[in-house]
């Protein structure tokens, strides 16, 4: 005779308390080794940092004069600073999420294109029969 199947035990995870979450977040996270891409980008960005520092020095010098302070407020409004801060807070999708979303857009586009082609073909046949008769 066959033995009765054993029931699988489900492991239920307890919800974390606020204290556990706080303790978990206060612990220092282990430092990851930078990948090849990050290291490459770090070295590529060196000249741009140098240019940015040069512009900062020129800006500090020019800000001593009232006319340049006024122009600086016009040319570099707070909007750009705030938008840059906002961009740094964005949580970018992972590579997998990006792939899935791109695939969804492609599938939707193909389905929508096929539907438009079918409707176009049907209307073409209908009008040819109505007009050419």
pLDDT tens per residue across span 101-129:
999 999 999 999 999 999 999 999 999 99
pLDDT at residue 71, as a whole number: 58
Regarding whether 68 and 51 lie in a shared domain, the answer is yes
Which domain does 123 fall in, by range?
92-133
Regarding whether 98 and 68 lie in a shared domain, the answer is no
**pLDDT tens digits for 24-75?**
777 776 676 767 767 776 677 677 777 777 777 776 776 666 655 555 566 6
pLDDT at residue 62, as a whole number: 64
Regarding whether 96 and 72 lie in a shared domain, the answer is no
Regarding whether 100 and 75 lie in a shared domain, the answer is no
Report yes or no: 63 and 69 within 8 Å, Cβ to Cβ.
yes
**pLDDT tens digits for 62-76?**
666 665 555 556 666
Residues 91, 93, 95, 96: what is their CA dihedral angle, to the nearest 10 degrees?
140
Q: Which pairs from 101-107 meet CB under 8 Å and 24+ separation?
A: none
Q: Is residue 6 part of a domain?
A: no
Q: What percent of the chain has pLDDT over 70?
A: 65
Q: Which helix (H) or strand (E) holds 77?
A: none
């Amino acid at each position: 005779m066959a033995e009765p199947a054993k029931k699988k035990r489900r492991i239920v995870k307890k919800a974390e308390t606020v204290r556990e979450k706080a303790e978990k977040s206060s612990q220092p996270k282990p430092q990851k080794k930078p990948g090849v891409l990050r290291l490459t980008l770090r070295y590529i960005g060196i000249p741009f940092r140098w240019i940015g520092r040069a512009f900062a020095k020129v800006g500090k010098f020019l800000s001593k004069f009232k006319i340049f302070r006024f122009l600086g407020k016009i040319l570099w409004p707070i909007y750009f600073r705030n938008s840059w801060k906002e961009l740094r807070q964005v949580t970018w999708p992972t590579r997998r999420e990006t792939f899935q979303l791109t695939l969804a857009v492609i599938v939707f586009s193909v389905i929508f294109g096929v539907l438009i082609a079918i409707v176009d073909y049907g209307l073409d046949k209908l009008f040819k029969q109505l007009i050419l008769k």
